[in-house]
Structure 1
Amino acid sequence: MESNCYHCGNPCEEDTIVHDGKSFCCNGCKTVYEIFSENELTCYYDLTQNPGATPNEIAGKYDFLDQPSIAEKLLEFDDEHVQIVTLYIPHIHCSSCIWLLENLQKLQTEVSSSIVNFPKKTVRITYNSEAISLKEIVLLLCRIGYEPYISLEDYENGKKPIDRSLIYKLGVAGFAFGNVMLLSFPEYFEVDEFWLNQYKPMFRWIMFAMSLPVVFYAANDYFITAFKGIRSKFLNIDVPIALGISVLFIRSVFEIITEAGPGFLDSLTGLVFFLLLGKFFQQKTYNFLSFERDYKSYFPIGITKINLDGTEETVQVYDIEKGDRLLIRNEELIPVDGILIKGDAQIDYSFVTGEADAVTKQSGDKIFAGGKQTHGAIEMEALKSVSQSYLTQLWSNDVFNKNKDESFKNITDSISKYFTIAILLIAIISGLVWYFVSPEKAWNVVTAILIIACPCALALSAPFTMGNLLRILGKKKCYLKNANVLEQLAKIDTIIFDKTGTITAGNKMELSYEGVTISNEEEVLLKNTLRNSNHPLSRQLYSILKANNIVTLDSFEEHTGKGMEATFQNNSIKVGSSSFVGNATATETLKTAVHISTNNHYKGKYIFKNTYREGIPELFQELSSRYDISILSGDNESEKETLQHLLPNAVELHFNQKPSDKLEHIKTLQEKGKNVLMIGDGLNDAGALKQSNVGIAIAENVNVFSPACDAILDASKVKELAAYMKLSKTSIKIIKTSFILSFIYNIIGLSFAISGELSPVVAAILMPLSSISIVAFVTVATNMFGKNLK
């Protein structure tokens, strides 16, 4: 008796290999099973029956990966003992694939993480390159049946394979639909003569043959997605579609075999054709929106470029070219791969690798984009220009989404499940009623209900609304990470602002000095100490002080929320709060100031007079009527009286807040059920931005990009925040309105379908038309409301 392979499901034929009481078709499948058994991963087979693929013969196939020059082209990140590679795995097809590939560390302990992108069929693997090579990683994937597709030409030229499967399926369905309709004409017009006696059976079987590739090829995605949804105990929108196709096909086959009639193969092929046509239109439209967003939503990140004459200027990161010399300050992210020229580089690559330990680099070493410099300023030479796709990948890393998205459920998921259940119940009840009233109409009624009530329009409402609004907000210099951020913004009831660099204009501060005159030597040390810092006050003071010689400090350390200290040759300096520099008497004044001491002797302070951004009073007045507003500032209370006169009484003011205090304040509010929006200055407020429900970083021609934030807002657009918040709430209203329109359409369509007055093929035509009308509505509505933004 022939058995099937326990691993891949293929027939074992004559060469059956029995191991552990299970049959395998080859040694490859048996080896994979043994690997899983040894590593306690046999629950892989519980997720799907026969989920594996037969391992291909790979001996010597990947020897080319032993050449460093070739492997380097495939690697996304390569630094000391950590390498990251993203591989395309064509065999990824189900939940068991995802589960296995994301548990590679159980098969190979040197793999620290592996993340699957199911739509793109890729896996991003981070591993210890000192203990395992890229070739061994690839061979491991091959041994477990997930051989990657590697094309060096694609990697070198940045080419991506184009998925034309939908076009092919549309062509097959269109060809079959046209011919089946043609062969059905004699049936339509009830032609007897030659048709009745000689050709009717033959033509019916030809129509049946033409419908087979439509059902089993063109429509297979609907069956696969429906099956996966049911297996995951979730009724997705493809369940009723797959059921409708199945009902039509089974009924048609039954009628042809029993010669009871021609069946509904014309309706079946027409249904699939119009479904795919609607899907093709939807895909084209959504790809257009996504494409436009990809190229419009440039992150407003600046970086300091050092010119040949030694002068420094801030440039957009997308203006960086190979060979440019860049200054990376303390706590700034490295935007491009490059070579370290000078400075004490201690780089935190946790944004890239997930490992928080800083890596020390020496002059001449290669450093990688995405790392954060944590010990003073460094200078580097760029090896390439900035890749926006890389920044997008870094910003969208799942590591920074999990905490916020775990409890968040989008609006479509909230109602689609109940909608699908309701439609299935209506179809079943209507079918039973018609079976007793008029059995010949029962199948038509059930099929028409399942088709006309397909919740495609429902499922499209949110993606098209959010996608278009992301594009519109991008044009207004408000850049959101993804569509979920827009939905979360609509739920916000509490807003917290940082003060310095957020509601104050960093480039318009007035500065004065009080204290002992600083010598030229001390001013050089002060200037170079400030040069290392990314704090708004440090940058402001640095830009005002006269140019001095650039030197490499012997040591530098920045204490978050307190200040910084540095040494050069025999001199030391402290810059920051009065308590930090060691001058207790200076606390008597509440003015915003940066205090200085050199060689443990207090010198004086630079006093800042803040200038608030244009439109701040009006912004707070408008927001306070709808939200609870707070200001959390790390500065002292010198600005308290000014803020009390400037802002509404309802705004709470908290001063002397350390970054940890801000984070705990937000956490306390969330424990009380509040949905918190945090608006800060990027890296300095990274913890608070990550803890909040939505974190917005303000950008003002500086490198404030932080993966912890959910949105980046250009500083010139802070005054428009109320309008953006209002638009987020409007987006939910647009979606709900489109849902209502979809429900009205379904109610009208169902009334005809239940009454038996609607044929399946007409329903198949109306279904994509309803989707198109919903897409048109949300696009026009979002554009109309978007134009109202200033």
Structure 2
Amino acid sequence: MEHQSCFHCGDSCGNHVITFQEKSFCCNGCKTVYEIFSENDLTCYYDLQSAPGAIPKEIQGKYDFLEQQNIIDKLLEFNDGNTQIVTLYIPHIHCSSCIWILENLNKLNPGISSSQVNFGKKNVRITYNSNLCSLKDVVILVSSIGYEPYISLEDFKTGKSNVNRSLIYKLGVAGFAFGNVMFLSFPEYFEVGEYWLEQYKYLFRWLMFAFSVPVIFYSAQDYFISAYKGLRSKILNIDVPIALGAAVLFLRSTIEIIFDYGSGFFDSLTGLIFFLLLGKFFQQKTYAFLSFERDYKSYFPIAVTKISKDGKEIPIQVYDIKKGDRLLIRNEELIPVDGILISGKASIDYSFVTGESETVSKKSGDKLFAGGKQTSGVIEMDVLKTVEQSYLTQLWSNDVFSKNKEDGFTTLTNAISKKFTFAVLSIAFIATAYWLYVDSSKAINVFTAVLIIACPCAIALSAPFTFGNLLRIFGKLKFYVKNASVIEQLAEINTIIFDKTGTITTNKKSHATYQGDALTASEEMLLKNTLRGSNHPLSRTLYDILDEHNIITLNHFEEHLGKGIEASHNNNNIKIGSASFVGNTSDTTVLNTSVHISTNNVYKGKFTFYNNYRKGLSKLFNKLKKEYDLVILSGDNEGEQENLKKLLPSKTKLIFNQKPNDKLEYIKYHQTEGAKVLMIGDGLNDAGALAQSNVGISISENVNVFSPACDAILDASKFNQLFKYIKASKSAIKIIKWSFVLSFCYNVIGLYFAVTGQLAPVIAAILMPLSSISIVVFTTIATNLLGRKLE
């Protein structure tokens, strides 16, 4: 009796087949999962891959511990009362079907708003409404559809450090089979006596076939799956020629031993898969090392203000924060760690974390979560746990909450690899047709050798290793880039736009003079405390200049982007900002940057600032002007125009009195004219412009301006090195192109020997990983030399 396979998980149903809607299931669990998918119109899950599911485990009562609040609090990474976020480690994630169903959990439970899968780490980050479903409900749901999460109660973690050993197992099987097949091929290699051939050749050939079966169906399965999915999506990916070559070798060899034409090419086949997997293992190990360095060394140069025991405000780096520290969070600042609100009126915007733009009010004693942004003045908080760098990285890289700038941008690798694969297949078929006509005995060898020797793995490797290494080098040099795509787009820019205040000017060493009516002690105290809540560069400068005053809690605080700040305490109110904002229409002077003040709707006076420009500014602009269009786009008045004309190259455009939206529209217009724009700002008023630009860089100078809008963060001390970083990005593209040239030369030579029938498939399989290794070595050495030049 022929055993039927389960429609859901693919296992044999044995003698107990459960039939539902003309489909066979091995157990009620698989049938139930299918029913869930069917009821929610999600049966296209099975279209992505045949029998992709897992058998659901018995879960009745298993997750009752998730009703205990102390456990829930430790497992959740975010909880504001309504919205909760948890990251679950799910070992069973293995294919595109898994990703698809886990990212459609919201269709199975309306309480789940979103779910994102990290395929490499085998985890899913789930955001849900705690009023509609609980953490237990979420875990039971994913378990019921065959994706039981791993939850360790010992350390209250929803994930674990797990090594995917499947590649090692496949490599082991291929290596074992390759060794045995080579051993069994020796009699025919050395043409031993007739006795051996007559007595044992059939046994040896069928043993070679037996060893090859697990290699082709297990060790090589990833290549076939990838090629199938690519062809199904009408894409010629790099695994198509490999899968085709392996399939042809296996079929031809099997036919040869069945009809006694010869011993086939099982040695070449097993050797091919073994060396391919060996190259893949090397690639995985090397890239994992680069990723490790990237994850743990790319600390953002953002800072936060720590309040010392004697009441002093000290800026510290986020990764120096310790449990028990007291932090000062200003208006528009990101909360870098979980903590307890101590004082101040907290109105937190968690859109960075949840995607929901509504602000949440908190009172003293409430818990605050990392990733929220304070939007209503200054608050103080006690730290509950230290910063998790990986969490900040995850927030920054979250494409759901940031504009995807890769739309319409084709990477260098994608542009070349498609043409490469098409060319290889064409050469293989033409060469095979030729040899079928000239000498059919060589045709199969030629076809397979061409597909193997011309494998574009080297092309696929060059970009990840080059960019990955450069990301690490940039991080060491305090230039923190979001991802590899940013480097590629940075190399394409032709226009650079700078904000003025806080970008080309420095907050340090700035000074100001006051003109107007003297401020009373209470007015100066109100001014000082209002400035304390703002992160604008001029506010920070003025705050540092003014005398110390008692700290008071403001009744009201509001910051109007591009205009100014207003606040009130008891019966007094104050406005700080532009002349028009505070109600002074008589001031028309534009000689210098000024901050005007009015109290209780009475104009008091203004502070006039004398800008200090960043070290090396003139030298930097003179280097940049040779290759780029330069623009200063400032929200300030024209007071500094003459100074800037003397300081900067003559071709630099100077545009003043620009509101945040004006900057965005300026960039958008020039992009329609063909400009590839790099925007450099301070991350506060420039968020829209940074998001609109092709590449947005935020300058950080002891201010927590961590923004989802920027693609890179540049430490202010490295501002004068900007030209070097852009130049290095261009050099990275050159390194990749040179690696393509090396790969092309290798392929041309290899193809010559393959097409002329002088290259055995197994030799081609040995040469292929060697070519990949040579590309990795070349790109790593080249980028390291590039890094030394930068230093």
User: For the superposition of Structure 1 and Structure 2, which TM-score range results when normalised by the shorter chain?
Assistant: over 0.9
Cα deviations across residues 676-715 of structure 1 (Å, max 9, x unaligned)?
Answer: 1110001331111111111100011221211211101111
What is the letter of the counterpart of residue 248 of structure 1? L
Cα deviations across residues 324-382 of structure 1 (Å, max 9, x unaligned)?
Answer: 00000000000000000001000001111111100110100000000000000100000
What is the letter of the counterpart of residue 331 of structure 2? N
Identify the residue that residue 275 of structure 1 maps to in structure 2. 276
Q: Give the 5 Å matches for 1:312-351.
A: 312-351=313-352
Cα deviations across residues 287-341 of structure 1 (Å, max 9, x unaligned)?
Answer: 2222222233211111100001101100111110000000000000000000000
Q: Aligned to 2:552, what secondary structure does the other structure show?
A: coil
Cα deviations across residues 646-697 of structure 1 (Å, max 9, x unaligned)?
Answer: 1122211111111111112112222223211110001331111111111100
2:435 maps to 1:434: yes
Q: For structure 1, which segment, 117-126 or 355-364, has the greater mean C-alpha deviation from structure 2 after superposition?
A: 117-126
Query: What is the CA distance between 1:257 and its match in structure 2?
Result: 2.5
Query: Cα–Cα, structure 1 residues 115 and 580, in superposed 2: closer, same or farther, change >3 Å?
Result: same
Cα deviations across residues 612-668 of structure 1 (Å, max 9, x unaligned)?
Answer: 111111212221221121111111111111112211222111111111111121122
Cα deviations across residues 395-434 of structure 1 (Å, max 9, x unaligned)?
Answer: 1112245531222221101111111111111111211221
In 1, the alpha carbon distance for the partners of 2:468 and 2:40 equals: 43
Identify the residue that residue 593 of structure 2 maps to in structure 1. 592
Identify the residue that residue 749 of structure 1 maps to in structure 2. 750
Query: Cα–Cα, structure 1 residues 777 and 128, in superposed 2: closer, same or farther, change >3 Å?
Result: same
Identify the residue that residue 152 of structure 1 maps to in structure 2. 153
CA contact 2:511–2:545 (8 Å) conserved in 1: no
What is the letter of the counterpart of residue 394 of structure 1? L
Q: Aligned to 2:685, what secondary structure does the other structure show?
A: helix
Q: For structure 1, which segment, 395-404 or 756-765, has the greater mean C-alpha deviation from structure 2 after superposition?
A: 395-404
Q: For structure 1, which segment, 191-200 or 431-440, has the greater mean C-alpha deviation from structure 2 after superposition?
A: 191-200
Identify the residue that residue 379 of structure 2 maps to in structure 1. 378
Query: What is the CA distance between 1:438 and its match in structure 2?
Result: 1.7
Query: Cα–Cα, structure 1 residues 484 and 431, in superposed 2: closer, same or farther, change >3 Å?
Result: same
Cα deviations across residues 717-764 of structure 1 (Å, max 9, x unaligned)?
Answer: 111111211111111111111111111111110010010000111111
CA contact 2:173–2:215 (8 Å) conserved in 1: yes
What is the letter of the counterpart of residue 354 of structure 2? T
Q: Aligned to 1:684, what secondary structure does the other structure show?
A: coil
What is the letter of the counterpart of residue 551 of structure 1? I
In 1, the alpha carbon distance for the partners of 2:613 and 2:125 equals: 45
Identify the residue that residue 773 of structure 1 maps to in structure 2. 774
In 1, the alpha carbon distance for the partners of 2:286 and 2:363 equals: 49
Q: Give the 5 Å matches for 1:254-265.
A: 254-265=255-266
Q: Give the 5 Å matches for 1:226-625.
A: 226-625=227-626
CA contact 2:590–2:638 (8 Å) conserved in 1: no
2:87 maps to 1:68: no
Identify the residue that residue 680 of structure 2 maps to in structure 1. 679
Identify the residue that residue 727 of structure 1 maps to in structure 2. 728
What is the letter of the counterpart of residue 702 of structure 1? V
Identify the residue that residue 135 of structure 2 maps to in structure 1. 134
What is the letter of the counterpart of residue 706 of structure 1? S
In 2, the alpha carbon distance for the partners of 1:606 and 1:466 equals: 47
Q: Give the 5 Å matches for 1:32-71.
A: 32-71=33-72
Cα deviations across residues 15-67 of structure 1 (Å, max 9, x unaligned)?
Answer: 55554555544443443343334333344344444443343322122222122
CA contact 1:89–1:148 (8 Å) conserved in 2: yes
CA contact 2:459–2:740 (8 Å) conserved in 1: yes
Q: Aligned to 1:696, what secondary structure does the other structure show?
A: strand
CA contact 2:676–2:694 (8 Å) conserved in 1: yes
Q: Aligned to 2:544, what secondary structure does the other structure show?
A: helix
Query: What is the CA distance between 1:2 and its match in structure 2?
Result: 7.0
Q: Aligned to 2:576, what secondary structure does the other structure show?
A: strand
CA contact 2:88–2:158 (8 Å) conserved in 1: no
Query: What is the CA distance between 1:9 and its match in structure 2?
Result: 4.6
Identify the residue that residue 666 of structure 1 maps to in structure 2. 667
Q: For structure 1, which segment, 49-58 or 575-584, has the greater mean C-alpha deviation from structure 2 after superposition?
A: 49-58
In 2, the alpha carbon distance for the partners of 1:184 and 1:15 equals: 44
CA RMSD for the aligned pairs? 2.0
In 2, the alpha carbon distance for the partners of 1:285 and 1:23 equals: 44
- Structure 1: gaps of 5 or more residues: none
Identify the residue that residue 218 of structure 2 maps to in structure 1. 217
Q: For structure 1, which segment, 338-347 or 190-199, has the greater mean C-alpha deviation from structure 2 after superposition?
A: 190-199
In 2, the alpha carbon distance for the partners of 1:153 and 1:219 equals: 38
In 1, the alpha carbon distance for the partners of 2:391 and 2:232 equals: 35
Q: For structure 1, which segment, 714-723 or 145-154, has the greater mean C-alpha deviation from structure 2 after superposition?
A: 145-154
What is the letter of the counterpart of residue 227 of structure 1? Y
In 2, the alpha carbon distance for the partners of 1:588 and 1:562 equals: 17
What is the letter of the counterpart of residue 79 of structure 2? D
- Structure 2: gaps of 5 or more residues: none
CA contact 1:636–1:656 (8 Å) conserved in 2: yes
What is the letter of the counterpart of residue 124 of structure 2? V
CA contact 1:400–1:690 (8 Å) conserved in 2: no
CA contact 1:637–1:656 (8 Å) conserved in 2: yes
Q: For structure 1, which segment, 152-161 or 457-466, has the greater mean C-alpha deviation from structure 2 after superposition?
A: 152-161
Q: For structure 1, which segment, 280-289 or 600-609, has the greater mean C-alpha deviation from structure 2 after superposition?
A: 280-289
What is the letter of the counterpart of residue 761 of structure 1? V
Query: What is the CA distance between 1:193 and its match in structure 2?
Result: 4.7
CA contact 1:347–1:374 (8 Å) conserved in 2: yes
Query: What is the CA distance between 1:10 and its match in structure 2?
Result: 4.7
Query: What is the CA distance between 1:236 and its match in structure 2?
Result: 1.5
In 2, the alpha carbon distance for the partners of 1:324 and 1:651 equals: 46
What is the letter of the counterpart of residue 370 of structure 1? G
In 1, the alpha carbon distance for the partners of 2:222 and 2:538 equals: 57
CA contact 1:94–1:228 (8 Å) conserved in 2: no
In 2, the alpha carbon distance for the partners of 1:624 and 1:296 equals: 33
Identify the residue that residue 711 of structure 2 maps to in structure 1. 710
Q: For structure 1, which segment, 2-11 or 285-294, has the greater mean C-alpha deviation from structure 2 after superposition?
A: 2-11
CA contact 1:154–1:160 (8 Å) conserved in 2: no
Identify the residue that residue 785 of structure 2 maps to in structure 1. 784
In 1, the alpha carbon distance for the partners of 2:524 and 2:545 equals: 12
What is the letter of the counterpart of residue 383 of structure 1? L
Query: Cα–Cα, structure 1 residues 228 and 401, in superposed 2: closer, same or farther, change >3 Å?
Result: farther
Query: Cα–Cα, structure 1 residues 6 and 282, in superposed 2: closer, same or farther, change >3 Å?
Result: closer
Cα deviations across residues 427-458 of structure 1 (Å, max 9, x unaligned)?
Answer: 11211221222222111111111110000011
Q: Aligned to 1:503, what secondary structure does the other structure show?
A: coil
TM-score normalised per structure 2:
0.96
Q: Aligned to 1:585, what secondary structure does the other structure show?
A: coil
In 1, the alpha carbon distance for the partners of 2:250 and 2:307 equals: 70
In 2, the alpha carbon distance for the partners of 1:283 and 1:651 equals: 47
Q: For structure 1, which segment, 62-71 or 299-308, has the greater mean C-alpha deviation from structure 2 after superposition?
A: 62-71
TM-score normalised per structure 1:
0.96
Cα deviations across residues 490-528 of structure 1 (Å, max 9, x unaligned)?
Answer: 111111111001001111212111111112221111111
CA contact 2:150–2:159 (8 Å) conserved in 1: no
Query: Cα–Cα, structure 1 residues 173 and 47, in superposed 2: closer, same or farther, change >3 Å?
Result: closer
What is the letter of the counterpart of residue 113 of structure 1? S
CA contact 2:152–2:159 (8 Å) conserved in 1: no
Query: Cα–Cα, structure 1 residues 266 and 12, in superposed 2: closer, same or farther, change >3 Å?
Result: closer
Query: What is the CA distance between 1:6 and its match in structure 2?
Result: 4.5
Q: For structure 1, which segment, 706-715 or 253-262, has the greater mean C-alpha deviation from structure 2 after superposition?
A: 253-262
Identify the residue that residue 652 of structure 2 maps to in structure 1. 651
Identify the residue that residue 200 of structure 1 maps to in structure 2. 201
Q: For structure 1, which segment, 299-308 or 249-258, has the greater mean C-alpha deviation from structure 2 after superposition?
A: 249-258
In 2, the alpha carbon distance for the partners of 1:672 and 1:100 equals: 42
Count of matched residue positions in the alignment of Structure 1 and Structure 2:
790
Query: Cα–Cα, structure 1 residues 479 and 765, in superposed 2: closer, same or farther, change >3 Å?
Result: same
Query: What is the CA distance between 1:231 and its match in structure 2?
Result: 2.3
